[in-house]
Amino acid sequence: LHSGCGERFYRFANADGKAWIMPAQHMHTAMELYQPSSLKGRLLKMWFPFLHRIQIVRWAIHAERMQCQLSDELQHLLERIFNIKKLEFALFCGTPCVYQKITMQVFQDNRIIGYVKFSRNVDVAKLFRHESDILTEIRCMGLDNVPEPKFCSCVDGTYVFMQTTSKTRQSITLHRWTELHQKCLENIVRKTKKHIRFDKTDYANVIRNLQKIIKLFEENDQYALNKGIQIVLDHYRQSDEFCFFHGDFTPWNIYIENKKLYMFDMEYSYRSFPLYMDMIHFVLQVCIQEKRLDAKQIIEEIQRSSYMLDVLGVDYRISIIAYLLFILTFYMQFFNGKFDSKDNGYRVWTALLKYYIEL
């Protein structure tokens, strides 16, 4: 990417340090890359394409003007892979962390063509390859509501992963659970469910990893973790049915187009996890990340929605414990054992775990 020349762009960021770079031209289409959860963010997405020329508006959201363009090599690669000329782009600079990556939305006028991820981190490159392999596998299983991987390789020292999309400017993002979400998960279970011994599953590996790192957690949380481990082992060792797990099935990673739900961003997915765990992830992430609820309020929310898992024949208490063990393990490993116990997510997850193991 060359700065200081090319078309006009605007760079803005949120309170979490996430930044976006949006072109002035066809900004309505470009802003489909921006998936805010707050009311302020949604208003920004709606109105900034109309008001970006007004200096006081740019000042209010701390947006800076800049010029940039793609290198000739990247431009030609994108045109060849997506088989289209004169592509436009918008950039999300990634969530600040050790696995930070850049995501590019490629489009032309009002049509979104696909998405491209970039990183120079070897560990992130492994995630790109994993996601590409997973997408290929589940598409072969008959899931057609996921992207098609188009390119996954290293280009001049940068790891690049390209994929298609069915998203349009008319696509809808819903921040509540609906029948479409339910049907989507039922279809995933139906097409990816496999009969496999528990000790051979991806989820069993999560539990083994948790047992290895359990001493990294707060001492007063270790009892709950150990008891939770015993509960899920006693339950899932009696089962041989497991399925694909998206890993981050949330409003910001799914959209609805022509009354059909589509998923993307599956770099943290698994092939063999307990059934319908994506539903629990969705409910809890919305409660924590969007509604900012505490543990007591989330328990009340779960009680109101637990019937959805009961209808599917899933023990919601066991499923929630299993999920909490997974998410705590994931983040402890994600932050290399330095996950802050004062973090709101950590405090809520451990409080929920202590409640459900004693229920």
Q: What is the 3-state secondary structure (H, E, C) of 239-281?
A: CCEEEEECCCCCHHHEEEECCEEEECCCCCCEEEECCCHHHHH
pLDDT at residue 1 is higher than 70: no
* Summary count for the chain: helices (H), strands (E): 12, 13
Question: In the chain, which ranges are E strands?
Answer: 2-13, 19-23, 64-69, 88-92, 102-108, 111-119, 149-155, 158-164, 194-195, 241-245, 254-257, 260-263, 270-273
Residue 47 neighbours by CB under 8 Å, 6+ apart: none
Tell me how far apart the alpha carbons of residues 346 and 359 are, in angstroms, rounded to a whole number: 20
pLDDT at residue 270 is higher than 90: yes
- Give the pLDDT confidence score for residue 36 in this predicted structure: 84
| pLDDT bucket at 32, cuts 50 / 70 / 90 | very high
Residue 275 neighbours by CB under 8 Å, 6+ apart: 189, 193, 241, 242, 243, 312, 314
Check: CB of residue 151 under 8 Å from CB of residue 120.
no
Tell me how far apart the alpha carbons of residues 308 and 278 are, in angstroms, rounded to a whole number: 12
- Give the pLDDT confidence score for residue 48 in this predicted structure: 95
pLDDT at residue 38 is higher than 90: no
Tell me how far apart the alpha carbons of residues 82 and 76 are, in angstroms, rounded to a whole number: 10
Q: Report which of residues 337 and 77 the model is more confident about.
A: 77
| pLDDT bucket at 289, cuts 50 / 70 / 90 | confident
Tell me how far apart the alpha carbons of residues 273 and 247 are, in angstroms, rounded to a whole number: 10
Tell me how far apart the alpha carbons of residues 327 and 277 are, in angstroms, rounded to a whole number: 11
- Give the pLDDT confidence score for residue 256 in this predicted structure: 95
Q: What is the mean pLDDT of residues 146-171?
A: 95
Residues in the chain: 359
Q: Report which of residues 118 and 345 the model is more confident about.
A: 118
Residue 348 neighbours by CB under 8 Å, 6+ apart: 288, 294, 295, 298
* Cβ-based burial of 330 (10 A; exposed 0-12, middle 13-18, buried ≥19): middle
Across 129-138, 318-327, 342-351, least confident range? 342-351
What DSSP string describes 291-308?
S---HHHHHHHHHHHHHH
Ramachandran sector of residue 96 (left: φ over 0; alpha: ψ -120 to 50; beta: rest) = beta
Q: What is the mean pLDDT of residues 293-302?
A: 92
| pLDDT bucket at 171, cuts 50 / 70 / 90 | very high
Check: CB of residue 193 under 8 Å from CB of residue 243.
yes
User: What are the tens digits of pLDDT across the range 202-233?
Assistant: 999 999 999 999 999 999 999 999 999 999 99
pLDDT at residue 275 is higher than 90: yes
Q: Taking Cα atoms as reference points, which of 338, 351, 228 lies closest to residue 287?
A: 351
Tell me how far apart the alpha carbons of residues 31 and 43 are, in angstroms, rounded to a whole number: 12
Average pLDDT, the chain: 92
User: What are the tens digits of pLDDT across the range 324-352?
Assistant: 999 999 999 888 877 776 777 889 999 99
- Give the pLDDT confidence score for residue 265 in this predicted structure: 94
Check: CB of residue 295 under 8 Å from CB of residue 352.
yes
* % of the chain at pLDDT higher than 70: 98
Check: CB of residue 124 under 8 Å from CB of residue 54.
no
Q: Which residues of 99-111 are buried (b: 16+ CB within 10 A; e: fewer)?
A: eebbbbbbbbeee
- Chain centroid, CA 268 distance in Å: 8
